[in-house]
Amino acid sequence: MLLGVISWPWVMLNSADIELPEIGDSAGALVSPQQEYQIGQAFFWRIQQSVDLISDPELTSYIQSLGYRLVASSDAPHLPFTFFMVPDSSVNAFAAPGGFIGMNSGLILTSQTEDEVASVLAHEIAHITQRHLLRSFEKSQQLNLATKVGLIAALLLGAADPAAGSAALMAVQAGGVQAQLNFTRAHESEADNLGMLTLVRSGFDAQAMPAFFERLQKTSRFYSGNKVPEFLRTHPVTTSRIANARGRAVRYPLQRQLGDSLHFYLMREKLRVMAAPNLTELTQYYEDAVKTGKGLNDVATQYGYSLALSAGGNYTSARKVLQTLIDQDGDRLSYQLALADIEIAVGRLSAALQIYQFNQKLYPDDQALTMNQVAALLLANLPKQATQLLLRQLDLGSPSAQLYKLLAQAKGKMGEKSQSHGWLAEYYYSAGRLEQAADQLRLAAGFAKGDEYQLSKINSRLREVETTLAQLEES
């Protein structure tokens, strides 16, 4: 399904909104920080309406923790960022104003080390902190705001879906403006430079950036026409760019990896199993790799083999392979979560709950662990316990669409219909489905009669949603 290219929700800004203080550069005269975030949020909404983002709690937690680690060492650690993964086999990553960074699953599957993934994220973070997308429009003051924002939308769409991006450009391009959509060479160089600095500060290997670029360039020789990887279209990799990156990298000593490199390999294999077009072939690949030792990481290969067997319904063999890993490293959470999945699949829900409860002592409040535990608690019809864990995640500042949906389910099982509809409204809102959010809030208000405090909160939130809807309709 292609992304929509008509009536972009952020084209609701008026000229009065633009006359706000600049932030460090003249791009601030184009879009204020608040509007910049609205642009990115609207794009994030549109993406979610067009494709089911990867929502596996463990994978989501991994990519977010990696991203936040880099942001903490960037030149703007105070900015808000949202990291997400798109289920797409092509090698690509893209950044939207407001700190929204998307990455295709194909990029992780192509990367050979965590440092390479981190180098791409660091590059995208630099594009955002330096406001490159907005600065690209500094010389287009003759265009009205709606056209400028439409062009920004088109570029973002092109990064996520080339076909949709082309359609969007046809709808908004004005003589000669399309060329302004590409990041300039100066912007790419600046993103490489600052990205590498962020990479090093975060404890990663600076050589990972040129190494990844070089491998992409070599791979691109086998492509022609429109088959060239999208990352190379939006971030052209030239010989001189690779040489410059290598020149910068040699200035930094090899960093000692601060993170858990094995975790990257485990998550990569989990993603590989989830994205497998042919599970039987993948399972056979793992079986052969385990026997011959030809996998990039032997432990991760065994882990992937166990997941593939489990996905194929061969739980006995999956447990056997997984148990060998647990015997070597019993406290590793990924193994424990995989074991709990097997227990649930074979109908041993109580055993799975025991696994989750035990690991909460080792990894208290871990986001992936908690989300999996909550799903199991709801299966066991224990909504009160599930609610407590979910509200704890909210207190820790870890909201998500999945969390809102689980809260709605838990409150529904508890018979608290008003709160159930209220949390479902937040789920719809987080995905940009504002009309459904408003409908759920009206239902919540109906069930809140007699509770003036709850009704006041619901009506206040409903007014906010209806105001946003009205602005969208006006645009």
Name the band, by pLDDT with cuts 50, 70 and 90, for residue 97: confident
Query: Which residue range is the domain that position 197 belongs to?
Result: 15-249
pLDDT score of 50 = 82
Per-residue exposure over 123-142, b if at least 16 CB sit within 10 Å of its own CB, e if not: bbbbbbbbbbbbbbbeeeee
β-bridge partners, 100: 82, 96
Residue 426 in domain: no
The model carries a pTM of 0.83
The predicted-structure confidence for 186-197, as pLDDT tens digits, reads as follows 778 788 889 999
Residue 391 in domain: no
User: Under a CB-based contact definition with an 8 Å cutoff, are residues 107 and 118 in contact?
Assistant: no
The predicted-structure confidence for 163-176, as pLDDT tens digits, reads as follows 444 444 344 343 33
What is the number of domains present in the chain? 1
pLDDT score of 121 = 96
- 242 pLDDT higher than 90: no
Residue 381 to residues 316, 376, 385, Cα–Cα distance (Å): 27, 9, 10
| Two tokens, residue 37 | 């975030």
Residue 115 to residues 120, 161, 264, 297, 410, Cα–Cα distance (Å): 9, 26, 10, 15, 39
Is the Cα torsion angle 255, 85, 227, 270 positive or negative in sign?
A: positive
Residue 386 in domain: no
Residue 462 in domain: no
User: Under a CB-based contact definition with an 8 Å cutoff, are residues 393 and 403 in contact?
Assistant: yes
Rounded to whole angstroms, the Cα distance separating 192 from 26 reads 22
Decide if 343 is catalytic: no
- 410 pLDDT higher than 50: yes
- 162 pLDDT higher than 60: no
Residue 132 in domain: yes
pLDDT score of 9 = 31
Lowest-confidence range among 99-108, 172-181, 228-237?
172-181
The predicted-structure confidence for 19-34, as pLDDT tens digits, reads as follows 323 333 555 555 677 8
pLDDT score of 465 = 95
Residue 222 in domain: yes
Name the band, by pLDDT with cuts 50, 70 and 90, for residue 185: low
Among 340, 305, 267, which residue's Cα sits nearest to residue 56? Answer: 267
Query: How does DSSP classify residue 4?
Result: P
Name residues whose C-beta falls within 8 Å of residue 313's C-beta, 6 or more positions apart in sequence: none
Decide if 124 is catalytic: yes
From the number of C-beta atoms within 10 Å of its C-beta (0-12, 13-18, 19+), residue 215 rates as middle
Residue 265 in domain: no
Report angle CA 304, 376, 371 to the nearest 5 degrees: 70
Rounded to whole angstroms, the Cα distance separating 337 from 23 reads 45
Residue 263 in domain: no
The predicted-structure confidence for 136-148, as pLDDT tens digits, reads as follows 655 555 445 455 5
- 319 pLDDT higher than 60: yes
Q: Catalytic residue among 58, 161, 192, 343, which?
A: 192
Name the band, by pLDDT with cuts 50, 70 and 90, for residue 206: very high
What mean pLDDT do residues 376-400 have? 96
What mean pLDDT do residues 367-392 have? 98
- Per the model's pLDDT, the better-predicted residue between 10 and 367 turns out to be 367
Which uninterrupted H or E stretch holds 197? helix 185-201
pLDDT score of 381 = 98
- 312 pLDDT higher than 50: yes
Rounded to whole angstroms, the Cα distance separating 176 from 171 reads 14
Q: Catalytic residue among 124, 188, 230, 366, which?
A: 124
The predicted-structure confidence for 412-468, as pLDDT tens digits, reads as follows 999 999 999 999 999 999 998 999 999 999 999 999 988 999 999 999 999 999 998
